[in-house]
Chain A
Amino acid sequence: MHDVSPHVVHHGAPTGFIRKHVFSIDHKVIGKQYYALALVAVVVGMVLSWLMRIHLAWTNFAIPGLHFLSSNGAPGNVMTPEYYLQLMTMHGTIMVFFVLTTAPFAAFGNFFLPIQVGAEDMPFPHFNMMSFWVTFVAFLVLVSSFFVGDGPTLGGWTQYAPLSAVGSVAGPGQGMGVVLWAASIGIFCIGQLLGSLNFITTTLDMRTKGMSLMRLPLSAWAWFITSIMGLTAFAVLMPACILLILDHVAGTSFFVPSNLVINDQLQPHTGGSTLLWQHLFWFFGHPEVYIAIIPGLGIVSHVLITNMRRPMLSHRVLIYSFGALAVLSYMVYGHHMFVSGMNPFSSLAFSFPTLVITIPSTIIVLIWLGSLYGSKLRINTASLFALGFVSMFISGGVSGFFLAQPSIDIMLHATYFVVGHFHLVMAVAAIFGIFSGTYFWFPKMAGRMMNETLGKLHFWLTFVGTYCIFMPFHYLGIAGNVRRYQAFVDDYLQPLIPVHKFITVAAVLTGLAQFIFIYNLIYSRFKGAPAPDNPWEATSLEWITATPPPHDNFGGKLPVVYHDPYQYGIEGSSGDYVMQNSPEQIKTAYDEK
C-alpha cells in the first residue's frame, strides 16, 4: 500500500470526555450524534403516528395517560380534533426534518463522506460541530412547543399561510406554537447550511491522491449532490421563516391579506399575499423530498453493488441521473400547488417537468434492476433492506405518474392517495435506506457485527407491515377518503372505517417490530461479535481502515487511490475484488467480454 502524508493537519485526538463525546469536532462522533438524534426523533414521531392512527380508527377510545401530554388537548384521555391536528403537524415536522434529513444525509454523510474521499476530517470541523448542536437546539425548540401555551401548532408541516400567520385566533398552537415552529426550522436551516458547506468542500477539496470525482463511490456522490441541494433549499426556507415570525411578532403583513375574517374576528393585517408562503415553502419543500431520498439512492446503490459483487451497469449514468433529479426538483415545486388557485397555465408549466423527473427516476430503477438481473446477490439484512428500498421506490413512484397530472391531482390531492404516495416513495423508502446503511456500516461505526437473524426478522416484519399500512391508503384515496380529518362521520366514509382499523393494527405492530431493531442496535453495540476491518469484502476506502476508524481515519497516512470504486468480479490477489487503494494492475470481468 502506497501512502502519502496528510495534506492538512487539523487537530490532535481529544482527551477529555466532553471534547471526545459531547462537543467533539471529529466528523465520526458528529455523525453518530446525528444518528442518535434521528433515533430519538423517529421514536417520538412514530409514537405520535400511533396516537393519530388509534384515534382515526377508534375515535372515542381513551388512550391511557394521554392527558399527561396535554390536559386541554386530551381531556379524559380522548384527543380533541385540534389536538389530532397538532400531533399530525409534529409528526410530519419531526419526521421530515429531524429523521429523513438528519439520518441518511447528516448522520451517515458525516461519518463516511470524509473516509470515502480519503480525508482525515472535514475542512471546517468547528462548523461541523456547530451544525449538530444547532440542529439539536432546533429539535429542543420544536419539542418545547408541546409544553408551551396551548401546545404545538396545528397547521401541518407545510404551515400554510394565512392561517399560520394570524396568531392564536386560528386555533390552539397557532400563536406561540407557530413562532416556535418557525424558529426551530429557521435554526435547523442554519445547521444544515453549515453541514452543506462542509460536505461540498470535503468532496471538492479533501479528496486524496488518485481520487478523481468519478472514482467517488455512489454514496459519496449522493451526499455531495444532496449538500448542494441543502445549501440552496435551506437558504430559501430560512428567509421564509423569518418573514412568518415577523407577521406574528412585528405586526407585518407578508402573508395575511386584507379583510380576512377568522372565527368572526377581522384581522388587523392588510394586503398580504396568500400564495407567497406556498411559493417560498415549496421552493424548499420539493427539493427537500430529494434531500431525503437521494442519500438513500446512493446508500442503496453502494450496498447492492457490494452484495451483487459487480458494478452497476453504468456508474456515470447513475451519477448523472442523481444530478438530473436534483436540478429538476427545483422546477417541479408547483405541483404541490395545483389546487391552490394558482394560474392554470402555471400548473401546466409545473406538470411537464414533474413528468420529466420520472425519466431519471426510471433510469435509476432500470439500472438497478438490470444490474440485479442474473447477479448472485448475497442475501443479508443490508441487501434485503436495499431491495426493500427499490420496491418502495417503485411502488410509491408509480402513483406519482397519476399525481403529476393536474386534472387527476385535483381529485386526489386532499385524499389519502397522496398520503400513501409520499409515505412510500419518500418516507418509508428513505427509512429503508437508513436501515440498509445501518446494517451495512454498523460494523465500521461500532466495531461489532449486528445480529443477522434479528435483522432479517426485522426486515420481513417491516417490509410486510409497511405495505399493509400504506397500500390501503391508495384505495382509501380513490374511494374519496379526505386527509387531515380527525374522524370519519360522513356516510360515505363509514364503510371505510374497517380499512382504517386494519391500517392502525398494522401500524402499531410494524412500529413494535422496530424495537427489535433498537434492541439489536444496543445489544450489538456492546455484545455483538467483533467486526473485522472489511466484513463485506467491499472495495471503497472506509473498509481499508481499522474498525472502528482511528481519530484521523487512516492512522496518520492518507491512502492513494488507483481504481474506480467498484472493482468486483475480478481475479485479484485478495479474492473477487480489488480495493480502491490497491496498486495492483487489474483486468475487469467486463474487459474480457
Chain B
Amino acid sequence: MATTVHEPPKIEPRRSPNEGSGNGGWRNVVPADGDARKVADYSPPPASTGIWVVLAAITMSFAAFTSALIVRQASALDWRHFSLPSVLYWNTLVILASSVTLEISRRQVATYMGGLRSQAARPARWLYVTLFLGLLFVAGQTFAWMQLRSHGFNLATNISFAFFYVLTVAHALHVLGGLGGLARVIRKLKYSTLRRSTLDATSRYWHFVGVLWLYLLLLLWMKL
C-alpha cells in the first residue's frame, strides 16, 4: 500500500484591509469617532452563526406549541371559535413596516461603513423608527389582550382563548427581546463601535419575529 505523507496545511496570511473579500467581512466596524476607514482586523464573529441557532430553538418551541394546539383541539369538542380582535391586523402592518425601516437602516449603515457617509445620524434615525414601531406592536398586542379581557375572555374561559394568550404572549416576549437587541445596536452605533455582524444578527432576528407573527396570525385565524 502506498505511503501517505500528511502535508501540513498552508497558513493563510492575515487579511489586510486592502484586500477586498466580497462581503467585506472585516470591513464591518463603525468606529466611534466616525472615521469609517479605520477598521479592525478580525475574523467574522460567531454572532452570524449564533443567531441561526437561536432562531432554530425558537422555531422548535413554537412548533411544540403548534402541535399542542392541533392535538388539544382534536381531543375534545369544547373548542370555541371566536373572531380575532381587529387590532391584530393593524399590528401586522406595523410589524411588517418595522422590518422595512430596519432594512432601510441596515443599508444605510452598509453605505456608511463603505465610507460614503460621514454621519451616523440617518441610520440611527431609521433604527429609532423601527424601535418605535416595535413598541407600537407590543402596545397593540396589549390592547388586544385588554379588549378580550374586558369582554370576560381570559385563559380559563376556553382552551382556544388559552392558546391565543399563550401564543401571542410568547411571541410578544420575543419581540421585547428584539427591542432590547435594537436598543443595543443604537447604543453601539452612537456611543461605541458597532459590528456589522451584530446589526445583521439583530435584523435577522427582527425579520424572524415578523415572519413568526405572520405564521401565528395565520394559525390563529384558521384555528380560532
A residues lining the B interface (CB < 8 Å): 2, 4-5, 7-8, 123-124, 193, 196-197, 200-202, 204-206, 209-210, 231-232, 235-236, 238-240, 242-243, 246, 250-254, 257-258, 270-273, 275-276, 279-280, 283, 560-564, 583, 585-588, 591-593
Given A7-B42, A270-B76, A276-B68, CB of A204 within 8 Å of CB of B3: no
Given A204-B49, A258-B76, CB of A209 within 8 Å of CB of B58: no
Q: Which of B42, B75, B156 contacts A252 (CB 8 A)?
A: B156
- Contact between B61 and A236, CB atoms less than 8 A apart: yes
Give Cα A5–Cα B11 distance, bound, in whole angstroms: 12
- Contact between A124 and B50, CB atoms less than 8 A apart: yes
Question: Is B162 in the interface zone, CB < 8 Å from A?
Answer: yes
Give Cα A587–Cα B12 distance, bound, in whole angstroms: 25
Q: Which of A201, A250, A253, A588 contacts B53 (CB 8 A)?
A: A201
Question: Is B5 in the interface zone, CB < 8 Å from A?
Answer: yes
Q: Give the interface size class of chain B.
A: 35 or more
A-B contact count (CB 8 A): 146
Given A231-B53, A235-B60, A235-B64, CB of A8 within 8 Å of CB of B7: no
Question: Is B208 in the interface zone, CB < 8 Å from A?
Answer: no
Using CB atoms, name the residue of chain B closest to A232: B60
- Contact between B155 and A250, CB atoms less than 8 A apart: yes
Question: Is B4 in the interface zone, CB < 8 Å from A?
Answer: yes
Q: Which of B8, B9, B43, B77 contacts A8 (CB 8 A)?
A: B43
User: Which residues of B are found within 8 Å of A235, using beta-carbon distances?
Assistant: 57-58, 60-61, 64
- Looking at chain A's contact residues, the main secondary structure is loop
A and B contact pairs by CB, cutoff 8 A, 23 listed = A123-B50, A124-B46, A124-B50, A197-B57, A201-B49, A202-B46, A210-B9, A231-B60, A235-B57, A236-B60, A239-B68, A242-B170, A246-B162, A246-B166, A252-B156, A254-B68, A254-B159, A271-B78, A280-B67, A585-B6, A591-B1, A591-B3, A592-B3
- Closest Cβ of chain A to B179, distance in Å, is 19
- Contact between B156 and A239, CB atoms less than 8 A apart: no
- Contact between B6 and A563, CB atoms less than 8 A apart: yes
- Closest Cβ of chain B to A588, distance in Å, is 8
B residues lining the A interface (CB < 8 Å): 1-9, 11-12, 14, 42-47, 49-50, 53-54, 56-58, 60-61, 63-65, 67-68, 71-72, 75-79, 155-156, 159, 162, 166, 170
- Contact between B50 and A242, CB atoms less than 8 A apart: no
- Contact between B46 and A201, CB atoms less than 8 A apart: yes
- Contact between B159 and A239, CB atoms less than 8 A apart: no
Using CB atoms, name the residue of chain A closest to B50: A201
User: Which residues of A are found within 8 Å of B78, using beta-carbon distances?
Assistant: 253, 258, 270-271
Give Cα A561–Cα B7 distance, bound, in whole angstroms: 11
- Closest Cβ of chain A to B147, distance in Å, is 19
Give Cα A267–Cα B104 distance, bound, in whole angstroms: 55
Give Cα A196–Cα B56 distance, bound, in whole angstroms: 12
- Contact between A272 and B76, CB atoms less than 8 A apart: yes
Using CB atoms, name the residue of chain A closest to B56: A231
Q: Which one of B4, B11, B45, B72 has the greatest number of beta carbons of chain A within 10 Å?
A: B72
- Contact between B7 and A585, CB atoms less than 8 A apart: yes
User: Which residues of B are found within 8 Å of A251, using beta-carbon distances?
Assistant: 155-156
